[in-house]
Amino acid sequence: MLLPRSLLAVAALAAASIAQTVVLPTSAATTGGSAQNTFPWGTPATAWPGLRIMCIYDSSHFTGATPPITTPILITSISWRANDVSTTTSWVGGIYNSATLRLATAAVDYTLASTTWAANLGPDQRIVHNGPVTVSGGTGAGVGVPGPYHVTIPVVPPFLYDPNLGDLVVDTDYLSPGNYVGGSQVAMDLHLPGVNGSRVYASSNYPNANFIDNGCPVIQVAFAPSGGTLATNTGLGTGCVRSNTSFYEFFATPAAFDLDNTGLTMIPTGLSSYLVLNSGALLPVGSIATPVSLALGDDAEVTQTFTTGSFPSATSFNICSNGFVSIGSNGTSFNPDVFTFLNATNTAWRSWHDFDPTIPGSGQVKYEESAAAIVVTWDGVWDYGGTSALDANTMQMQFYPSGQVTFAWGLMSHLGTTGHLVGYSPGGNSLDPGSTNLSALGASAITLSSTDALPLVLTAMTRPVLGTNWNLTTSQIPATGVLGVDIFGVSDPGVLDLFFVGMPTCQLRSTLDVLSAWLVGGATHNYSFAVPATPTSLIGFSLFTQSVVFQVPPVNPFGAITSNGVRGTLGDV
């Protein structure tokens, strides 16, 4: 990427004379942190295939700084602070041979961070460093006293960030083991009071996210003020055609569970495809056949071979005490986890939670089977660690010979030691469709396909600054793609469903003013628009773009899919 000379001049001037810094979170500016964590630069990470730490810092750390930062800035470096340790504690440091740093304006507020990495990144996302990262040796300044900034990554060219447009994403990523070479390390400083940030991290699940918390390390952002009019990119709509084989809702805490006295029904529409509807209710225990209380221990499963009942592609079910039924064993974990759910060996239906039917006073998991249906009921089963009837949970899964499956819930405890994960996923690796608010499904339906497919995605790699190339990348091009078309237009038609031309769920987000065809040569395609340097009256003008890919065999009557759109608003910085 070529940086405009004017921007280089501004950056050079800033670095030489007017560089400024802000500490994130601002609550840690003058005090040692309240906690510590080795992520990302305090561990060789040999226990995991890699380590990715995406932190989303609230924009209030900028707008509430002293003095307030309320206009666009050029970020010139990011530094991480060592934990506040005693003056007798020192570390040698070393080098990570290869790591990346990505910056972005967040696509969501930090409180809505997602374990789907891309969902957190705005269209201005950019890898600002790809190479070695040095951890400097040092000595602690004392407990409670801010430690030294021992890891600094220059941002070249500077990253343009406007706190008025969203929160700041600081995303580090590296592979391991064997990446870190050197001596002892020190933990990163954390200050949880007033952190106003979210951390999405991948360690044991790498490259998929493990979890989200508020463990954002203390960092220092060096910046220079930016003048002029900011060129921006805005994503428009979504690409097509996305299809998912799985659905779920993850409730992080027991108190968040809100499906009491409701039901969900999966109606088969073909081989391994379904419509999921807001319908269904508990059947009285014993209404199908004489119920059998299963001999289930805590964190245990039993295999029930069918005798009078039937279900497509199965001759038995593995029933786990922790709220799931599988065609084959998926283990007996008590900890609901999205990654495990989506990548389980065998097909499973789950209302996954840590139950324990062995506690004295607890209800039991009961099994009924007839030619009409197979029904598994958690009939007042207590939460693990439960002490009274307040810990009882009643829920049910109904399996029919047609392949229909109904989830039904009665009263749930909202207690226990783990959250809940409700949903269905076929055996093998599945794409993450994101958590769905099942209680808000209403009269709509979730459509599940027999195969996973990602939508066509268009990403602006640079901003449309006067006198530069506006670079864009189309990705997730299907292997069946043969011909592509880049579209540029002067307005957004806002057509959200092209079903009337044979492209259901596809959108049109740019007028067809300029078309450029290309042959598909892989999963990505790069193209650009040369933004004129003059006249300056172009500042503020918006240009729209979108990609189309034709496929053989076609996935719809028209034979093509579309990406999301991008609106580029021209500026001089």
Domain boundary residue, one of 196, 226, 256: 226
Look up the domain containing 473 and give its range: 233-240+453-569
Examine the domain organization and report whether 156 and 274 are in the same domain: no
Q: Where are the alpha helices (DSSP H) in 80-177?
A: none
Overall number of domains in the chain = 3
Per-residue tens of pLDDT for the chain, all 573 residues: 233 333 333 333 333 334 589 999 999 999 999 999 999 999 999 889 999 999 999 999 999 998 999 999 999 899 999 999 999 999 999 999 899 999 999 999 999 999 999 999 999 999 999 989 999 999 999 999 999 999 999 887 789 999 999 999 999 999 988 889 889 999 999 999 999 999 999 999 999 999 999 999 999 999 888 777 878 888 899 999 888 999 999 998 999 999 999 999 999 998 889 999 999 999 999 999 999 999 999 999 999 999 999 999 999 999 999 999 999 999 999 999 988 999 999 999 999 999 999 999 999 999 999 999 999 999 999 999 999 999 999 999 999 999 999 999 999 999 999 999 999 999 999 988 888 999 999 999 999 999 888 899 998 888 898 998 999 999 989 999 999 999 999 999 999 999 999 999 999 999 999 999 999 999 999 999 999 998 989 999 999 999 999 999 998 999 999 999 999 999 887
CB 335 within 8 A of CB 418: yes
For 9, the enclosing helix (H) or strand (E) is helix 5-13
Helices and strands, number each (H, E), in the chain: 3, 38
Distance CA 109, CA 355 (A): 34
CB 398 within 8 A of CB 405: yes
Examine the domain organization and report whether 133 and 274 are in the same domain: no
Examine the domain organization and report whether 294 and 406 are in the same domain: yes
For residue 377, the one-letter residue type is T
Distance CA 409, CA 297 (A): 22
Distance CA 223, CA 218 (A): 16
Examine the domain organization and report whether 363 and 465 are in the same domain: no
Distance CA 482, CA 367 (A): 52
Distance CA 414, CA 420 (A): 10
Using DSSP bridges, classify how beta strands 457-460 and 219-225 pair: parallel, antiparallel or unpaired: unpaired
Domain boundary residue, one of 448, 483, 499: 448
Examine the domain organization and report whether 309 and 386 are in the same domain: yes
Examine the domain organization and report whether 33 and 167 are in the same domain: yes
Q: Give, rounded to a whole angstrom, the gap between the first and last alpha carbons of the chain.
A: 15
Examine the domain organization and report whether 143 and 181 are in the same domain: yes
Two tokens, residue 379: 């009939």
Distance CA 56, CA 157 (A): 21
Q: How long a stretch of residues is the chain?
A: 573
Instruction: Answer whether the bond into residue 177 is a cis peptide, omega within 30°.
Output: yes
